[in-house]
Amino acid sequence: MESYLLDWANLLLRWLHVITAIAWIGSSFYFVFLDSSLTPPEDEDLKKQGVSGELWAVHGGGFYHPVKFNVAPPKLPGHLHWFYWESYSTWLSGFALFTVSYLWSAGTYLVDKSRMDWAPSTAVVAALSFLVVFWLLYDAICRAFGQSKNGDAIVGALVFVLVCIASWLACHWFAGRAAFLLVGAMMATAMSANVFFWIIPGQRTVVAQIQAGQPVDPLHGKRGKQRSVHNTYFTLPVLFAMLSGHYSFTWGHPQNWLVLILMMFAGAAIRQFFVLRHGYKLGRNGHPWPYALAGVAVLAGAVVWLRPVAPVSIAGSAQPAGAIGGFDYKEVQSVLQQRCVQCHGPEVQMKGVRLDTPDQVAPRAQLIYQQVVLQKLMPMNNATQMTEAERALIARWFQAGAQVH
């Protein structure tokens, strides 16, 4: 029953997380596009009001005319819309999903004893420390160098190094799939913390200064814009880390930390292309195609690097009479009993799956082949130490017709 309820919690939280993430990322992408696409106002009245840029757009059967005021408008409207719950709800639902999916059963999903043989509680503390320590270090880098000459380049380089170190540590300390997700959660935490600690407080300060009739300090807007730009470059790397759990050829690679870094770099480069592309159309910068080319080149290189190696045939001994496809099903049954039944047997039935009898195995042959041979997702984190020879045995069994008698 606990497994069943956790599955429902996982499904509903994942659904909520995707919905809120779409809202947050969508609004973020829109405002980055808006800032990059604004042109100086032509109307003299807008210029007098302090408008620094405007955009005409058509959508949904109507025309829109958003404008941006330089520092502050002359008068605040009665209703001012704030964009922050998209961020907060995304982080809260994501952390809840991370808790249900990984922290709740840390010994199964977070710990890989071949990497670090530590207690589940220790692994949970270490995982949570990634979220906190990365934010503190990232924030310190921004504070120290963000307003200096060439500050954006310095911050970008140092944060990239920080992400590389965190990726290496995560992939050496935790199970591969958990490590990728943890790095994504770490960066997403920094994104939401940017909104909570910098962007929204800075905007509240500006609003308070306007309402009090005080001069508006432009530094708050500059800092908020800087953190917002950081968030947009984090977005595609975070999305890859979140989706990678379905593709074991990435996190299951021996150099999975390097795979993660390369894929995140490609995502950031491609995002840079789209950010600069809007400005290029207005003649503000050169064509950003080198960024897209670099991102695509890294992706193509990863595709070539991670290509599957032709399986090596396993030399087997003489097979007993009655063997199917060159071997007896009893060998497969022995592997399932030794490696799988402790989580998929009469006492424990993870995901509602039992593999302790031939009648239970037969209808799930394709699922077994996919999970054990193609994706190598099972056993989870290879906790029962299934060998490559055993996976090859299951592959031969399936390809020969998956007979169970």
Question: pLDDT tens, 239-291?
Answer: 999 999 888 889 888 899 999 999 999 999 999 999 888 777 666 777 889 99
The more confident residue out of 39 and 381 is 39
| Residue 310: predicted pLDDT | 58
| Residue 324: predicted pLDDT | 43
At residue 314 the predicted structure's pLDDT band, cuts being 50, 70 and 90, is very low
Q: Any idea which of 219-233, 286-300, 304-318 has the lowest mean pLDDT? A: 304-318
| Residue 297: predicted pLDDT | 98
Average pLDDT of the chain to the nearest whole number = 88
- Summarize pLDDT for 386-401 with one digit per residue, the tens: 888 988 888 888 888 8
Supply the pTM of this predicted model. Answer: 0.82
pLDDT reading at 322 higher than 60: no
| Residue 265: predicted pLDDT | 97
Distance CA 147, CA 59 (A): 38
| Residue 320: predicted pLDDT | 41
| Residue 264: predicted pLDDT | 97
- Summarize pLDDT for 170-216 with one digit per residue, the tens: 999 998 999 999 999 999 999 999 999 999 999 999 999 998 888 88
At residue 318 the predicted structure's pLDDT band, cuts being 50, 70 and 90, is very low
Q: Any idea which of 321-335, 347-361, 385-399 has the lowest mean pLDDT? A: 321-335
Average pLDDT, stretch 317-346? 71
Residues above pLDDT 70, as percent of the chain: 94
pLDDT reading at 312 higher than 60: no
